[in-house]
Structures are given as C-alpha cells and as structure tokens.
Structure 1
Amino acid sequence: METKYVLDMVFSWRGGPGCQSLLLSLLLLAAWEAGSGQVHYSVPEEAKHGTFVGRIAQDLGLELGELVPRLFRVASKGRADLLEVNLQNGILFVNARIDREELCGRSAECSLHLEVIVDRPLQVFHVEVEVKDINDNPPIFPVKEQKLFVSESRMPDSRLPLEGASDADIGTNSILTYRLSSSDYFTLDVNSKNEESKQIELVLRKSLDREEAPEHNLFLTATDGGKPELTGSVQLVVLVLDVNDNAPSFERSEYEVRIFENSDLGTVLIKLNASDRDEGVNGEISYSFNSLLPPMVFDQFAIDPNTGEIVLKGNLDFERVNLYKIRIDATDKGHPPMAGHCTVLVKVLDKNDNVPQIALTSLSLPVREDAPLGTVIALISVSDRDSGVNGQVTCSLTPHIPFKLVSTFKNYYSLVLDSALDRESVSAYALVVTARDGGSPPLSASASVSVEVADVNDNAPAFAQPEYTVFVKENNAPGCHIFTVSARDADAQENALVSYSLVERWLGERAVSSYVSVHTESGKVYALQPLDHEELELLQFQVSARDAGFPPLGSNVTLQVFVLDENDNVPALLPPRAGGVGGALSELVPRSVGAGHVVAKVRAVDADSGYNAWLSYELQPAAGGARSPFRVGLYTGEVSTTRALDEADAPRQRLLVLVKDHGEPALTATATVLLSLVESGQALKASSRASAGVAGAEAALVDVNVYLIVAICAVSSLLVLTLLLYTALRCSAVPTEGACGPGKPTLVCSSAVGSWSYSQQRRQRVCSGEGPPKTDLMAFSPSLPPCPASTDEIGESHTSSDSSGKVPCAT
C-alpha cells in the first residue's frame, strides 16, 4: 500500500519525463533497502501481556492474508516466548514478562533480535526490539547495619568511607543520591569521580567525646533518579573509641590495577604501603580486606597482612566479572586500633579463551522426501563470550550436498535444502556445522545435525495374538494389576507411538469400564473393584491399540478374564425341619433303639465351589471327657447311636457338631443338637403330635429331593453329551468359534474348578461379544479324565490353595 502511494506521487509529479524516471529510480532503491533492512521497535520492560509493540506485517510490507499461507513464523535467540505475533492482524505484542535486568544485566543497550521467516518464496527479515529500562529496582545496601569505629581523638573533618548502595537499573534510574539523617557530629560527602568509583564518606564535623556519647546511630538513605523515586537505607552505628589517635593513611585513596584473565595463580597485583604517624606498637600496620566485601573477592584474591601485597588466588574470568572493587583496611596495633582505608580497582582484560557456542533450532525435522528446494531445515545461531575480534565468529557446513548455509544476519544462519531428496537412496544425513572465531590463535566448535527423511504412516499396531486368557482370584484388591497388553508398530517416531484404550461395552446394566481400566502408555490392565466368583465367573472385553500417526491406525485384542474361587464363604446351617428350639435341632430318642440308629441330621451348604464347598461334620467331645453314645457321619451329617442306650445315659444329651469346609484356611460353623431320651410310648405320642406339624415340611422336603435328583440326572446327561460333542469336534479338527468371539476352546479341569456340593449361589457368566452369552457346564465328576498333572498333585489338591486352579492377582 505504501509503494502504491509512492508510485502515485511519482506519476503525479509535473516535472519532465527525465525527472520522473530519476525520482522513480531513487524511490524504488529506497523501498528495496527498507524491505531488506532491519525493523526497530521499542518496548518498556515489565510491560503487561498483550502490550502493542508494532505492526510487524505492515512494516515488513506483507499482506495479512499471506501470513498463514506463507508460513509466517518468528524465531528468537534465547527467550523465544517473550514476544508473539497475532497472525490475524499482523501485530507484534508482549507475550510474557520482560525483565531487562535478567536479559542484559547492566548493559547500556538491551535488545531482542527476532528473525521473521516466510515461505513461498523464502524471505527472512530481521527485527530488533529495544527493551527500555524502567525504575523497578530500589537501591540496595550490602548490609542492613554498618558499624564504624571512630576514635575520640579523631580530628574534625576526618573522613570515614562508607559502602554505597547498588541499583540494578541503568541510566537515570541508577543514578543515586545519598542523604544522612540529622546529626550534630557527622555530615555526608559524596565524591562523584565516576559511577564506578563513587566515594561516599562520613565527615566528622566536630570532636567526639566518648564519655559524653559513646555511640551514634545514623541512617544513610539512597534515592535513585527514576520516576517515581525508589529508596533504600542502611543504619550506621558509630562506636567511639579511645586513646590511639592516629590512623594509618595511604598515599592515594584509590589504586587501579589491570590484569589479564586466566593469569597464573600467585601473580602479585599491587603492593600497598600505608604510613602511621604514631610510634611503637601504635605505628605497626596490618593489611586486610574490608569485612563487607562480597565473598567472591575473598575467593579470587589474598593480601599479605605484613607487606600489603595483593596476589591472585583464583582464576579470573572476564566474561563472568570484569571489574573488582576492593576496599583495603590498614589497621595499626594500638589500643584501641585505628584503621586507614583505600580502594583498589582491579580491571580484568579479555583473552581469547572461550570457544564459540552453536545453538540449533529445528524447524522442519524430519524432512519429507518431496520437500521443495529452499526449504528451511533449521536456524543456527552462533555466539562467543569473548569481546572484540575474539568474539567475531564465522560458520561453515560439511558436507555441502544436498544442503547449504545461508547467512541471514550477524551470527545467524539458515540451513536450507539445496537439491532434491530421495529417501529410498538416503534415509538420513549427518551434517557438521563448524564455528570459528577471529582470535589468535582461533578457537572453533562443531555441532552435528542429523536430518532424517520422513515417510508416511502405513503400519498399524499389531498384537502377538488375537486373544489372551487371564486367571484372577476373587476378592482382589481394588486397582490391582491383572495383565499387560503390548502391541508393536513397524513405523518410526510418532507413527510407532502406541496408546491403549478400553473398547467400551455394556454388560447388562453396567459398562466394562466399571470393572477394568487400561493404562494409556504401558498397556497395563487393572481391576477397578474386587471381583466375586459367586457373581461373575468370566469377564470378556477388548483393548484397542492406536498409533499417533496421521491418520492414526489401530487394532484390537480380546481378553478373557476368569474369576477363580476363594474360600470366602462360611458354611451356612439350614434351619431344622421340626422341633427346633432357638435355632438348635431338637429330637426325641427312644431308649430302646439299637446301635447305628439315625436319630437326627445336620444340614449345611457352602456358597463356594470345589473343595471350598466340600463339607465335613465332626462331633465335639463332651464336657468332662465322658464318651457320648452318639456319633455323626463325616460327610452326611447324620447323627446316629454307637451302641444300645441304657438307663445310665443322661435323659438329655447336648451335642455340638462342627461343620467345616475343605478350603485353605478352612471355615467352620457349629450346630447344636438337643436329644431327649424317652421311653418308647412317650416317643410314639410325641411323634404323633409332631407328625401333623411336620407333614407339610416333610412333603416339601421330599419334593425338593425329587427335584434335586432330577436336576442332577439332567446335568450328568448334559455333561456326557457335551464331552461326546467336544470329542467329535476335536477328532474332526474343524475350528469352532464361541458366542463371545473367535478363539480356541479352553479345557477346564474338573479337579480344579468342580463342585463337591450343591450350591444355591447364583452364577453369572458375562462376555462382551455381540452374540448371545455362553453357558458352560461345570461339575465335579470322578469319572472325568485327569488334568495334565501328577497324581500326587491331584491327591493333595484338597489341602493346597494353589492346586484349586487359582492364580495370584498380578499375572
């Protein structure tokens, strides 16, 4: 738009054609130089986020509509997030907090160098944003309280040097003025030779009298020149000493020393000489560093207390500190001692001792093999901490094909594509960038750049097998790890980065995600809640593996989780059919019965499966050790006589029957049986009275027993039919599929998961496939073929929890 305006002015010029041609040439030349030059902006430090810096697109002559299509981007050395460009309006604005002192320290100039790059065609512009200082740092004294020792014999107009304050700002904001609190004895004198060695002295106005005032408390305030003004203060405690009235003095108040960095340790910088007009002990002088000096001075230098020689103690580094301001105290040995002071300025000179630094910023890595010529691969910036010629750096690239270095600005280069790529010929390039400074001898540094030629995402993650079978014990801890799925992707980089997720399905009214979860990165499967074998025997679901390519590719794997039984249910006693008192079984027994007569029966069930539900009955010994005329069947629970009853037997017998399952550890319940020994006639009468009451219950029990027998027969027949069908399918070698999805049938051993007793607990078998749920028959039968295990393992399975088919939670 600006060029069009200039052209309109040229053609509207009323001079001759020659004048118009000359003016047009000059204006075009000026416009070309402005387009290829550097744009300057300025912004104050600590500006808020979003502060306007400049219309960078307009100033560079770029149309707003070209910013996105031409891949408008900005690169910066150092903090790249401080400034940002709005691609909608082309405005450069403040994106993060800018602290000038953090960026440039006390340097007089502080700028952010931006490199603006656009493609099609490739253009590189350089923008310099000057960071202006604001008064955001108050003056700071090295200590909050400074103690000064002054002899009472000190003459008026004597001067006591003070440690001044420092201000991190620059310019006017760092110009300090000092003010001393009101005092009849002291005044302040500031000698401003230069900003580096400004002398602040406390001047004695009149003689001191220790007996009248042994201590004076003053406040020294430093105020900077910013707007608004910031201040800092230090408390001065002046302690008045007695007797020794002559302090050592130096020939000059300030000495200057120059020394090269990396000088040998032990080098003598200067030998100080102070004199004292006193005689004897009061005239003997000891030299020392002032105690208020920063610790780095004591690390770098040492002073001989007798000769006053200052020697180099540590290695000097011009790039770290180039000026040391050392205050020296010359103290006599009088009582009390008196001290003279001077300042030694040590200026460190630069040497070529820093290797150039190379910073690489990747822009388009990896590079597609169809990338056009001139594509910017990376931005390279070089720097050298040395100064002058020692800090001037040149850059070179090896090998040159198929890339080249293009100098875009001082110490800035672009690595661009110079010839066509062919991934099938070369899939990666190893480049070396060498930076060399102008020192004598020159120092150089190299950096390697690995340029990979990228391909497309054409491989999906693959599992080792399509289906996995997992066994988990019930009552697992919530969140326990039960399995780990793993898929491999043949692609590279992000195309091979696999993430896992659960394929959500509904199991009745509950989602699969309420039972299990899958870790996105590791593929570990966790059980979210304790599983109950009595409610859920099989949980089948799918896990999806998907890569991070574009477009992403994925595959699924099926997991079948079998919940194995644990002995977590106590045997439950069935209520007595008749004659029960308070839950106990009560029976009348004629004294005329013989040995082996069944007088009562204890009934119990267990909700577990297999050995955990196999019940046995034991009669507890009677109190006092007396032998009972009754016994109980080990597996039937029938209470019968062991001998004929006689008159010596107590008329009331109380038996305790222990019902115990075969789990590990075994769980037990206790049943109480009350037996009353009566004569035969009384037993018949009681039997006739109770017959009416129990007739219905006996009939119902008979019906239940009939139904139970019919159910057992039906289950046995179905088991035989299933075994025959399974044998026929195995012999025919025809692959089959279950209703829950593809996969080989799994043989479940009856010795591991069978049931020894009838269980009334409801079973539920769940799968996550689309078809109808499976119904598996599971029963214990001694006639089934044994599992592939030793005979000893099968025989001892009722005593070991590991042989019941259960596995730990972590598979």
Structure 2
Amino acid sequence: MVDLNPGDSGNRSLLLLLIILTAWKPGGGQVHYSVPEEAKHGAFVGRIAQDLGLELTELVPRLFRVASKGRGDLLEVNLQNGILFVNSRIDREELCGRSAECSIHLEVVVERPLQVFHVEVEVKDINDNPPLFPRAQKNLFISESRPLDFRFPLEGASDADIGENSLLTYRLSPNEYFSLEAPSTDEEVRSLGLVLRKPLDREDAPEIFLVLTATDGGKPALTGSVQLHVTVLDANDNAPAFDRTLYAVKLPENVPNGTLVIKLNASDLDEDLNGDILYSFFSDVSPDVKSKFYIDPISGEILAIGHIDFEEIKAYNIRVEAIDRGYLPLTGHCTVIVEVMDANDNAPELAVTSLSLPVSEDAQPGTVITLIKVSDRDSGANGQVTCSLTPNVPFKLVSTFKNYYSLVLDSALDREKVSDYKLVVTARDGGSPSLSATASVSLEVADVNDNVPTFAQPEYTVFVKENNPPGCHIFTVSARDLDAQENALVSYSLVEWRVGERALSSYVSVHAESGKVFALQPLDHEELELLQFQVSARDAGVPPLGSNVTLQVFVLDENDNAPALLLLPGVGGGSGAVSQLVSRSVGVGHVVAKVRAVDADSGYNAWLSYELQLAAGGARNPFRVGLYTGEISTTRNLDEVDAPRQRLLVLVKDHGEPALSATATVLLSLVDSGQAPVAFSRASSDSPRAEVALVDVNVYLIIAICAVSSLLVLTLLLYTALRCSAPPTEGACGPRKPTLLCSSAVGSWSHSQQRGQRVCSGEGPPKRDLMAFSPSLPQGPGSADKVSLKKFYFQQFKNTF
C-alpha cells in the first residue's frame, strides 16, 4: 500500500494524486510504497501500473520491466494486473543493517516511447531479533574491599532491529548485594553496570550468581539474558583509572598503516604489580575494530592497521580496559569513538541504460535518446556529481531525478553531413581535487529519403552518326543520391512523349539500372536531325523522389544520298535526259541548257559540282558546263561542220566521303537561225525522240516573253525576301516547303528540298543547322507537270495579256 501520513481523506487523496501525476513524467517524481520485512511470497505491495498512470494492456507491448540494483528479485510485478508483490524473503537487517532508513529503489522502464519511473519501497522493521549478549556467561572478580556504591561496568546486549524494537530495558535477578544501573533512553555515554549496595564478605559469600535480562521495546517484546558469575576477591583495592571515560577522535580515511590514532593513559594508585597496567580491547569488541586497530598493551597507543574506508564504516566505537597486574587484578574502562573523515577517493560512476538506436535523422528536438545514471560513494561535496557532454553536438543532457540524466536531441540531424556521433559523457564530483569518469555513447543516424537524385548538369548534348546499328549505346546518364541504402537506389526511365506521329520509345530506350541510353533503330539525318527528350531518375525511397535531365541527340549526316536530277520545265524528260534546240547563230558564252540537281544530304555531302564528259571527237566540242551552276554554254561560234545532233553527258558529284554521283544526258539539236526552236524529250538515252513542231516567233512575242520573264524574276525576288524575313510557322516535327536561301559561291540562286522532319523534340520550336546546297535556279510554277519550255512561255504570255 502507498505510505501516506495519517490525516483526513481529502489530504490523503490529494497527496496520492500528486504522486501519480508526478510519476507520469520520466524522472519527474517518485512513487512510495512500504512493506514489512519477512512478508510472505506474493504479499501485496501496491498497484504500480495504476499509480504510474499506465494501462494494463500496454505493459507487455511497451516492454514494461522493473530493475533493482543489487536487490536481486525481492519484488516483482504481475503484468496481468499491474500489482507489485513480494517475490522472495526480505530481511531488513540484511539489506540495511542498523540504518534508520531502509528502502528498495526500483527503476521502472517502459519503451515505445521510452519512459522511466522511480519507485521507492520502504522496508518496515518488525521485532524479529531478540536482544543478544556477547556471551552466555560473564565472570566478574570483585574484591571484598570495594566500597559501597562502587560501580562495575557490564557488557550490554545488542538488538539487530531499529527504533522501538531495539530500545532495551534491563532487569537484574533479585539479590541483596547489587543493584542494576542502566542508561536512560537519552543517555548515550553512560554504560550498563552493577552497583554495590552491600559490603561483600568473601567468607560469607565467595560466589554470587545473578541473571541479567534485556527486554526490547517490540510488541510482543523479546528478551535475552546472561549469567553473571561474581567471584569475591581479597586485596588490591584500587583499580586503574583513565583521564576520561570518553575519548573522541577524528581520523581521515585511507591513512597509512601504523598511523597513531590516540595514546591512552590510565593510572593506578597501587604500587608494584598492583599498579602495573596492561591495556586491551574489551573482549566483546567487534571484529571490524580488531581488523582495523591495534592497541599497544604497554603504552596504550591505538594504531590504525587496516584500510580505513569512510564508505564502509563512518565511525568506530572502541571500548578499552586497563588491567593492573595485581594478584587480584582490577580494571578500569573507557570508550574511544573514532569518527572517520571522508576523503574524495571515489570517482563518479556512470551507467547508460535503455539506449534507443539508431536515431532517425528526422527525429524532433526533445526526443529522448538514452538514460544515464550517475553515482558517487563519497559524501557531501565529494559525492555531488555534475554531468557534461562533448561540445558541439546536437544533443544535450537534462537532469530528470536526483542522479539521473536524459540524453535528448537538441537540434535537427542530417545524416548526409554526419552519419554517426561518438559522444563522451563526463561526470565530475565536487571534491578538491575533483575526480571524474567518462562514458562513451555511439549514436548512429538512420537515413530518411530527403535527397532528390541529381544529375551533374541539367542538359547533355549527344552526337550520333546516322545509320547507326539498332540497339547501339549512344550515351549514359548518371544521377547521384546522397541518401543511403534503398533511398539511394536510383532507377532511370524515359519521360514519354510523341515525336511527330511516333512514340519516343520507338526511337530510344534507357536501362533502368545503369542509365545507358540505346538507339532502338537506325536514325536518319534526313528524317530527324535533332531528337530531344528527357530521362527521369527516381530513388527507391518511400515516397520516392526524382528529377529529370534533358538529352539533345544530334543526328550527324553521312553521305548516303546520291544527287537527284531535276529537269527544267517543258524541256526534258523524267529520267536524266534533256533535249534542247540551239540556233547556230548564238554567240560565244550563250547558255543553251541547264542541268539541275539536289542532294538530300546536308553540308559538304550536299555540295554539288558538275563536269562534262567528252564524247568521241570531243576536242571540237563547242560546249562546256558550269562547275557549280550546271549551265551549259557555248565556248565558240557554231558553224556548219558541227554535227546537227550534240549528245552531252554531264556528271553530277557531291563532296562527301566517298563521293556519290549521277549522270544527265543533254541532247542539243543545232538549227539555222531562221528556224523556230523545236523542243523534244525522251525518257532516257535509249528512248525514242519525240519531235515537236516548231512555232514561229515574231518580234511581239519576243517582247512579251521578255516582259513576262522580267515580271517573274521581280516576283521571285520579292517572294524570297519575304520568306527570309518571316519567322517559321510550322511545328517542331511537321513537314516544310522548300525554302530559298542565300546565293552560292558563284553568285547564283540555290535552294534545297528541306527535310520533311528536321528537328523533333518534345517541346519548343525547331532548331536548324547550317546547310550548303548545290547552286541552282528556283523552281518555277507548274514544275510537277513537266510541260515544255514553249508551253511555259505561252502560258506566261496569256496570263500577262
């Protein structure tokens, strides 16, 4: 039951409530119980779970346990009903000796969350020890010459109990010679003794037998007795006498052996052997005194011969007797009280309990990490202990109850900066010089997923040659996560979007673990110049964190497209052959035909050059071809000896490595100046010639054609200027119309049939690269119909007029 002072029921309820509320906080208070010693096994002590504010259902899940340092298993808790009961025999005298206070201190620890409670169980004394005398019989030798009221000291009894149970009263068996003189309860120095009330006569009564009985104050009272055998002696009338009956000495602990404690001096008025004194300890002196002190029988010096330890015994009560050497020896008595003075000879002790590891890096400040108990066996300032912690750590010590401290989190943790801590707790007492002790505590910081995988840079540029083999490795992305274990396990994936009409995953893939990016199919520069996409990196934490990186994959051009021939409208066939009528009257340098070609490649791979392959009799060939223009012009005046049919073979080559080429056949028909031009075409060098009737052209028609041509050139120049200055309007991946570019190296207009899909990415406008094209003239309207030059000019003339 809880030990409360008697009073009205309101005060008792208020005090009980205060104890329970205080016990709810770790180290904030103490629950007090009491139990009588020698209680039977299973005896009820208190409802500890209820008094500590704990539910019975949470005792087992929260690992409720009770620890009692050095007390074995005297007390135990029933986890089913939360009752503290006696588990084994409790002997108060064995636990605390003659100490006035005797308590069993219990540490009650519960986990999840960690709490500690302190419970004090006071062991009540019962009267279970009778008074005991040093021996069953005491022999006294008393001279018959002793005067009346002479006092003979006796050895009193001892009682192992305390309080009322140890208060002894003495009584002497009825007799006519002696009375008993016993000290009162408030006398500490006066000892028990026999007082002579009637003169002794050895001849009348040489021996007297008495019984001395001691009774304690318990209920029921217990008694003990000793037989007193008094032998009446003759002669030696004076007993040795000390200067004082009580000597008080202060002796520091840990003095070396042989240290003088005190020198006693007794005197005897007798002479010779009757006055020769020998000193000795009382026969009932405790073994502790005999092991710690020695008295010189001649000089009366008391020396320290054993280890004097304040923590073991704080004071020694030494009874000394002086015996003369007479025939009938007489004795004198005194008491020496040696008070041991404490020295700071015990360092503090540290004990770390209930260590909660590891500590999560997102733990809140104030979280209890562990409990630390400190103690010092010294007393006073020597036993006052203060604790300190290693500086510059995010932890602190909080004093909770007496010599108990809690190690709590003081500020936020970051495992990525510091993953573990080596803490040193120092306990220092208040002695001079002070003593200290240290304890090391290793704390590991547990990781939480608080770091996003990061790439070295937000964007990477990758160059890949077109026509790559399917599944080739083109790049490796790598992200770093500062977390640990699964929180740092990074996996990669594509951020899916569409590239034109197709999904991104049809072009590339990424390995989830290694981050290697693979091209799933051969890339075509003419179809796709830039592939821009994102790769996502995500960790395996809960919840997972991730980030993206952008990859710009430029598809580098290879010379994989041969030049493609284009025929002037209305003057050619569709398979690399051109037919043209040429008047023999044209002058030197007159352009008689033009070979046009384009290359689907870009850069140098699309830069075209033209060469004229000489046929038999080519030494008199009156024609040449422009290296970059493809224009066929005369090198001299035509005469009658020139064959009426001129077959020219033009080789068109790009500048790639290796170069690719195509050939065009140009058929020129030489006619007199008075004849109208006749145009014909054939599909190839082997197809039959298609003759077309010549049309007479008068002066008005020539003027109209010149006007139409001038208007057409002006219109094309204006259109080109508008196209160069206007921003693009097509999407990133949509097809584009042919675009006029700047002039070539030889000053003529050039153009390129742009790719149907130049730059494909998930977002943003298309990107362009610098491209060189073969010099050529712009296409005119109606090129797809392949009408003859005559029809073209007549159509322009009709539109004009």
In the superposition, the TM-score normalised over structure 2's length comes to 0.48
Higher share of residues assigned helix: 1
**Greater C-alpha Rg:** 2
